[in-house]
Amino acid sequence: MKKITIAIDGHSSCGKSTMAKDLAREVGYVYVDTGAMYRSVTLFALRNGLFTADGIKEDELRRRMPEIKISFKFNAETGRPDTYLNGELVEKDIRTMEVSNHVSPIATLGFVREAMVAQQQQMGKDKGVVMDGRDIGTTVFPNAELKVYVTASAEVRAQRRYDELKAKGMEADYEEILKNVQERDYIDSHREVSPLRKADDAIELDNSNMTIAEQKQWLLDRFNEAVKK
């Protein structure tokens, strides 16, 4: 069976990563969580004092971008890949609200996106990859054989994010999360570099009222159709 590239784009907290991870495991593909990559850059910036009251120290971050190496390693216990920043496991660190509240401005920086896109394209050069993010089908892999654009209402996405954080034993406030989701939607859709938009040839999925099992089956069906073409 031929290997293809699968690009899954969409809003924050709409279940893209869960769908992508499940499909990759099901069909034996490599999964790349590009959102985790931008979160890792954000964590690096936070740890190194690159955020100030006036914004981001862009010149210093640009200078230090070559120091930032992101990789993924399969976790046999969870059955999913974990994110590593310069060899350090940061999967839990990058999911905090502090990182969530700072990631969008980092992701709007052209030099950050350029560096991350280069790493992503290298990861997917041999196909057989499932990648999710904001600009996979439009910028990273415009020739992907299967493109999916996932969306859901802001309220549904905030509730999912709230439930996810609580399940991990982390502090969570629904109203704060909803505000964060709405702000990220606006920033992601209005940034100058690679704004979030549906690719012309992408299949749209509104999963507001779907279970994870239903989403998983829907995506698997689209995959099976794509590999037969």
Paired sense of beta strands 129-133 and 5-10, if any = parallel
Paired sense of beta strands 30-33 and 129-133, if any = parallel
Give the per-residue pLDDT at 98. 94
Count Cβ atoms below 10 Å from residue 80 Cβ, excluding itself: 18
pLDDT per residue rounded down to tens, the chain (229 residues)? 789 999 999 998 898 988 999 999 899 898 888 889 999 999 999 999 999 988 999 999 999 999 999 988 888 888 778 999 999 999 999 999 899 999 989 998 999 999 999 999 998 888 999 999 888 999 999 999 999 999 999 999 999 999 988 998 888 899 999 999 999 889 888 888 778 899 999 999 999 999 999 999 999 999 999 998 8
CB 102 within 8 A of CB 51: yes
Residues 112-147 as b/e (b if ≥16 CB within 10 A, e otherwise) read bbebbbebbeebbeeeebbbbbbbbbbbbbeebbbb
Give the per-residue pLDDT at 147. 97
Give the per-residue pLDDT at 168. 86
Could you tell me the pTM of the whole model? 0.79
CB 205 within 8 A of CB 149: yes
Element (H, E) at 114: helix 110-123
